[in-house]
Amino acid sequence: MQDLTEPILELIRLTATNLPPDVEEGLRDALQQEEPGFAARGALETILKNVDMARENSTPICQDTGTPIFYVNYPEGWSTRRMREQIKSAVAQATDKSYLRPNAVDSISGVNSGDNIGDEHFPTIHFEEIEGDELQIDLMLKGGGCENVGAQYSLPNSELGAGRDLAGVRNVALDAVQKAQGKGCAPGILGIAIGGDRGSSFVASKEVLLRQLDDSNPNPEMNDLEQQLTEESNQLGIGPMGFGGKTTVLGTKITSKHRLPASYFVSVSYMCWAYRRRQMVVKNDQVSYQ
C-alpha cells in the first residue's frame, strides 16, 4: 500500500491556506451585494484580503484551524489501520509546520496535546469502502465558533410552530440562524440533516457540507427549501460577522435520513465563511487535488 503521509500533508496545507474557488466566488458575489461604506462591505473586504494573503503566503486562512474531519472513501484492499496512522502523522507534521494550530485539548485536564492528536476521535476520520479503483480523501476544517452555534431540534416543536414536515424544518432552521447571529462568523453555510438518530443526524448535517456551493439538490422539494432558506436567512439583516447587511448565509445544503416513526430530528451544522474543504484523489499511484 502506497504511503500517503506526504500527499495528506499537502492536502492539509491546501485546505488550511487556500479557500476553494466556489466559496471565494460566493464571498465575492456577496461583496457586490453590500453597500459601499457600510460595515458589512468592510467585513467582506477584510475577509477577502485575508483569503488572498493566506493563499500567497501558505498561512492559515483563520487563526482557528478547526477540527480536522477526514472522509476516506477507499477501494477494496486498502488498510484503514495504516491510513489512520498516516493521517495522524500528517496532522502532527502539519501542526509542526503551522498549517494547523494545536487544537486538541483534553476535556478533563484542559491540557493541549500540542500536535492535534487526541483520542480516537481527534482528528475525526470516517472510512467507507467503495467500488472502483480510486481512493478519495476529503478534508473539512470545522471552526469552533461556527460549531458552537450548530443546533438540533426534535420535531414537533410547538414553540416554533414546527411540525414534522418541510415547513417545520424551515422554521427550526431559521431559528438556528437567528440565534447564531454573527457568532458563527457569517456569512455562513447551512448543512441540514432531516431524520436519523441524534448522532447520525449531526454527522449527516456536516457531511452534506462537502457539496459544491453552486450545485442543486437532486430532490426538487429539498432543492426548493435550500433556495428558500438562503433567501429568508438573508432577509434577517444579520449580515457579515453580524454587522447587518444582505448576506447572512452563502448557501444551504439539505439531506435526509431514514428515522424511527417516533423521532423527527433536524440537525443544523453552521459552517463559517472560512469554509475549508478540499479533496485528494489517488488513482494508479497518481495524486491529484481539487
Secondary structure E strands in the chain: 67-75, 124-130, 135-142, 151-154, 188-194, 249-256, 265-271, 276-283, 286-289
Minimum distance of ligand SF4 from residue 184's CB (angstroms): 6
Distance of alpha carbon 288 from alpha carbon 290, whole angstroms: 7
The reply to whether 66 sits near ligand SF4 by the rule CB under 6 A is yes
Among 64, 115, 138, 207, binds ligand SF4 (CB under 6 A): 64
CB of 187 closer than 8 Å to CB of 236: no
Q: Tell me the residue number closest to ligand SF4, measured at CB.
A: 143
Query: To 10 degrees, the CA torsion angle through 174, 177, 178, 180?
Result: 160
The reply to whether 274 sits near ligand SF4 by the rule CB under 6 A is yes
Cell 467582506, located at residue: 44
Q: Is 79 exposed, middle or buried (0-12, 13-18, 19+ CB in 10 A)?
A: exposed
Distance of alpha carbon 126 from alpha carbon 120, whole angstroms: 11
Minimum distance of ligand SF4 from residue 270's CB (angstroms): 9
The reply to whether 145 sits near ligand SF4 by the rule CB under 6 A is yes
| Number of residues binding to ligand SF4, judged by CB under 6 A | 11
- Expressed in percent and rounded to 5, the helix, strand and coil fractions of the chain are 40, 25, 40
Which stretch in 12-20, 139-147, 167-175, 231-239 sits in contact with ligand SF4 by CB under 6 A?
A: 139-147
The reply to whether 16 sits near ligand SF4 by the rule CB under 6 A is no
3-class DSSP state of 197: coil
The reply to whether 23 sits near ligand SF4 by the rule CB under 6 A is no
Q: What is the DSSP string of 68-97?
A: EEEEEEEETT--HHHHHHHHHHHHHHHHHT
The reply to whether 46 sits near ligand SF4 by the rule CB under 6 A is no
18's grid cell: 487556500
Which stretch in 59-67, 78-86, 99-107, 152-160 sits in contact with ligand SF4 by CB under 6 A?
A: 59-67
Stretch 182-201: interaction string toward ligand SF4, x if CB under 6 A = ---x----------------
Which stretch in 3-11, 105-113, 138-146, 228-236 sits in contact with ligand SF4 by CB under 6 A?
A: 138-146
The reply to whether 139 sits near ligand SF4 by the rule CB under 6 A is no
Minimum distance of ligand SF4 from residue 64's CB (angstroms): 4
Q: Where do contacts with ligand SF4 occur on this chain (CB under 6 A)?
A: 62, 64, 66, 143-146, 185, 272-274
